[in-house]
Structure 1
Amino acid sequence: MRRRHLLGSLLLTPVLTACFASGGSEGSDPGGDADGSRLRVALAFPPAENLSPYGADATLLSRLGVTEGLTALDANGAAAPALAESWRRENDRTWLFTLREATFQDGSEVTPAAVAAALTHATEAKPAPAALSGVTLTAKAQRAAVRITTTNPDPVLPLRLSSPSLAVLSPKAYKDGADPVGTATGPFELTKVNGSTSAALDRFDDYWGGRAQASGIDARFIADGTARANAVRTGQVDIAESIPVAQAATLDQATLKETATTRTTSLQLNTRSGPFKDPKLRAAAREAVDSSAVVKGVFEGYADPGAGIYGPAVTWAEGKRVQPTGRASAAKPNGTAVTIATYDNRPELPEVAQVLQQQLQKAGFKVTLEVREYSRLESDALDGKFDAFIGARNSLVDTGDPVGVLASDYTCDGGYNLARLCDKRVDRAVAEADAVADTDERQGAAMRAEAAILGTDAVVPLAHQGIIVGVATDVRGVLLDPYERTLVGTGTRR
């Protein structure tokens, strides 16, 4: 029998291998040996946007140790030094970030002017990076520092700048878009990309945090979860992310590494067009869903039932949770036809879709499923071409700030608003939370905003996931990150 994995019993800090901000890991030796072995890594998601750091590929780059920003997240989810070694708030709209000595992978120096230019390019990107949703900032060089000014007060700017989508690249990168090949600052330099199939990376010997112990990385993009598990089993790869729960029992237990995550699988309902524009039908869908059946039947215990946008791995959330109010009364579906889309990069999601299809049809809906690879699905989902969308979203991935995911996913101007929600009450609650500087008070305000969102039935939380990483028994120092921003660091080796 598969071992029960209760995310709710896990605290964030104990499951971490080390401080993610440094790129290091337990037993890390920044000096490394002279040669080292190359690591073979299987990733679940191929590049979707030509490895632009401004969208879905940003975390792919950070997980491979290619890119960095001014700050990073530490083990407790607080902002920690990265390319900026310190910072201070000058007034309610202005911060000064002092840079450390560092070098870009093309050999040029990381200067205040280069950093300011990189951040300016991010602000001009279309669409805007999710970390900048609702935020306007300007960056200017100031001696050995960068002064960043926001149009409105932004008390969590250091957290925001930890986002993988705000990575700093050398001036050479911006000649045509934002090209991270050989222009980033991380311990591994991207040298070759073979479309959506594979990529090669070499160790960047001048990395400010010390030489990585591995001499390089050979990355393969394997969307099929069973194939990733087989690659670990047969020794074709050293590390494979996102092992499907259905494959966990088939692998040697010594190769399985688990950790709680801040990722929530949810059903997003299209509130702007189609049947779920009617809040009464959204309520009917919410009442039809049994998330405990999803956890038991699909995740086989490697998840907790959906409690909200934030799950048990966000350790402060449960004690501050507010019950939703203002929900509409459910209407009878009477055969209402709906199309639910999801993607197969995470193999549990098509199974979740099938369970929901059965539950909704039992309630009176007529349900059609559409399953594609994520890169072929996202634009249609954002354009509202489906009635509902099942996705797995890390609630703290964009900024590390709990308000960030609410602004990007559920406000009128949100850049990743799959539910296409535009509700004045929600926008007001999110704006109120975003204005709070005190950490404890900000968390409470975020939970009130979560309640306002859940009250619209635009989203139905299904499961709070753990992740399983396949790791060969001779590999050490893999970064088990609940925020899913890092995977390989300076101390990852075999």
Structure 2
Amino acid sequence: MRVPARLLSLTAVSAASALLTGCFAESESTGASGEGKRVRLAMMQPPRSGLSPLSDDAFKLSRWSTAETLVKLDAEGDAEPALATEWRQSGRTWTFEIREGVTFHDGTELDAESVVRSLTAAADASPKPRILDGVELTAKADGDRVTVTTATEDPLVPQRLSSPQLSILAAKAYRGKTVNPLGAGTGPFELTKVNGTSSASLDRYDDYWGERAKAPGIDVKFVPDGAARAAALRSGEADIVEAVPVSQAALLDEESITEVPMPRTNTLYLNTSDGPFEDASLRAAARKAIDAGSIVKGVYEGRADVAEGLLGPALPWAAELRTDVRRAAAKKADGETVTIGTFTDRAELPEVAATLQQQLQQAGFKVKLEIREYANIESDALAGEFDAFILSRATVLDSGDPAAYLYSDFASDGSFNISRLADSSVDKVLKKAGATATGEARRKAVIEAEAAVLATDAAIPMLHERVIQGDAEGVVGAAHDPRERELVTADTYVK
């Protein structure tokens, strides 16, 4: 049973606040230039791989505006210039013009050779960065240009190069198989100090090629405990707090929190190859039985969005292009026993499972639940051991494009096909979406693929998640990014 957020004890609040005491002491003073305040940032997850950009730690470097990529993405997911100013495609090869006048934080100049060094290190890494999974990529310098060639023609190369895992760093960052970003980026802030998994510091880089940062620096504290992060915002010990738990949001001033739609959908995957849900009419019965609104209200306390499709409000173009989907007719469940699996790593999922159990039982199903840690249940889910599986799934992977997610989860040979869907008509539209050039045509092809998947009832999207970000009253210009690539930018400062 969930304890109401407002019953958090004074002792717990004090203990949580104590975790932050002293962490941001230096932030009270002005920066080295004597102007403005340093931004005090409380983050949820500590580094897992020494802040190597070849890991998910790359997103921290991006959110601190210290490491940059050749390309960035606009709100629609289309590629825009960053360290590359323009690019063109010729078959399997893309040519990128490298921006002039850029220096790394150690004073060395950005050139084609340094770009090739970083991209080659990523392509040769073991394991590869996730964005290059299944992609053979080679980079070569050609004067002031860089050519990137893939084994097969790939319209998503610019979007792939926007991934923080393909950040461009100075030569000093690369020592053997390790990559150390300390003082090696090109962004408006220079990473100057890392204290293991507890904290990090960044100073403004005054020779930045773009707009000079408004804040003199950033002081980062890693605070895995959600109550402690919320307490830091309440007490004024942090200026920006990421990932405030739903249970803590009610304790904060409503004006200090922003709910950011995430490209993440809570979905019930149904096993289409074996068991009761091999029958499309029973899959339809399950869909009709689910009341997603009550899950949003009861489990997520209203801080989520009821799903209309697999792609949610973090991709605003999806709703504009979506049309009605024709699905199979439902038949009444007659005591069929189904087993639903999910995991404990996301606190809400066991509660979602319990609510679904009640809803499906009211519709005539007999429902068993199996709940474990994700590491101990993923292989069984992929092997089809469950009749249904509840998953919180990112719908745009590192390229910012949903076609890869749709193919991975619903193609006959998809690597994450929990529904075990094998439908040639679905495969056809999935391949079309993946091969279509970026822009409006690709977005329409993606929505066509989404409709084909939804028509099978292999997956029942229930809700789209939000992340809650806390900004103190004096914070100006903090980013609220659904892709979690930006947080403190050159425009961010504290009054």
Asked if 2 retains the 8 angstrom alpha-carbon contact of 1:228 and 1:240, the reply is yes
Distance 1:436 1:237, change over 3 A: same
Superposition CA RMSD, Å? 3.5
Q: Does 1:87 align with 2:84?
A: no
Q: How far, CA to CA, are the matches of 2:91 and 2:103 in structure 1? A: 31
Q: How far, CA to CA, are the matches of 2:232 and 2:185 in structure 1? A: 29
Task: In structure 1, give the amino acid aligned to 2:207.
Answer: D
Give the equivalent residue in structure 2 for 1:431. 431
Give the equivalent residue in structure 2 for 1:465. 465
List per-residue Cα deviations over 1:377-406 (Å, max 9, x = no partner): 458636748856655444335112232332
Give the equivalent residue in structure 2 for 1:45. 45
Q: How far, CA to CA, are the matches of 2:376 and 2:393 in structure 1? A: 16
Q: TM-score, normalised by structure 2?
A: 0.79
Q: How far, CA to CA, are the matches of 1:382 and 1:48 in structure 2? A: 23
Q: Which residues of 2 match residues 179-218 of structure 1 at below 5 A?
A: 179-218=180-219
Q: Which residues of 2 match residues 286-301 of structure 1 at below 5 A?
A: 286=287, 288-301=289-302
Q: Which residues of 2 match residues 115-264 of structure 1 at below 5 A?
A: 115-174=115-174, 175-264=176-265
Distance 1:424 1:127, change over 3 A: farther
Q: How far is 1:246 from its partner?
A: 3.5
In structure 1, runs of 5+ residues without a counterpart are 1-30, 372-376
Distance 1:256 1:33, change over 3 A: farther
Asked if 2 retains the 8 angstrom alpha-carbon contact of 1:342 and 1:353, the reply is no
In structure 2, runs of 5+ residues without a counterpart are 1-30
Q: How far, CA to CA, are the matches of 2:41 and 2:361 in structure 1? A: 40
The percentage of aligned residue pairs carrying the same residue is 45
Task: In structure 2, give the amino acid aligned to 1:234.
Answer: S
Q: How far, CA to CA, are the matches of 1:124 and 1:383 in structure 2? A: 31
Q: How far, CA to CA, are the matches of 2:171 and 2:433 in structure 1? A: 36
Give the equivalent residue in structure 1 for 2:7. none
Give the equivalent residue in structure 2 for 1:5. none
Q: How far is 1:478 from its partner?
A: 0.1
Q: How far is 1:251 from its partner?
A: 1.1
Distance 1:455 1:73, change over 3 A: same
Q: TM-score, normalised by structure 1?
A: 0.79
Give the equivalent residue in structure 2 for 1:97. 96
Give the equivalent residue in structure 1 for 2:406. 406
Q: How far, CA to CA, are the matches of 2:133 and 2:300 in structure 1? A: 32
Q: How far is 1:163 from its partner?
A: 1.8
Structure index of larger Rg:
2
List per-residue Cα deviations over 1:315-362 (Å, max 9, x = no partner): 222343366678797876744444311424xx5445434433544565
Task: In structure 1, give the amino acid aligned to 2:135.
Answer: V
Q: Which has the higher contact order (CA 8 A, sep 6+)?
A: 1
List per-residue Cα deviations over 1:356-383 (Å, max 9, x = no partner): 3544565311113335xxxxx4586367
Distance 1:389 1:123, change over 3 A: farther
Q: How far, CA to CA, are the matches of 1:113 and 1:408 in structure 2? A: 34
Asked if 2 retains the 8 angstrom alpha-carbon contact of 1:133 and 1:408, the reply is no
Give the equivalent residue in structure 2 for 1:265. 266
Q: How far is 1:278 from its partner?
A: 5.3
Q: How far, CA to CA, are the matches of 2:413 and 2:180 in structure 1? A: 27
Aligned residues: 454
Asked if 2 retains the 8 angstrom alpha-carbon contact of 1:279 and 1:457, the reply is no
Distance 1:409 1:338, change over 3 A: closer
Q: How far, CA to CA, are the matches of 2:417 and 2:335 in structure 1? A: 22
List per-residue Cα deviations over 1:14-55 (Å, max 9, x = no partner): xxxxxxxxxxxxxxxxx9955543222122333344434344
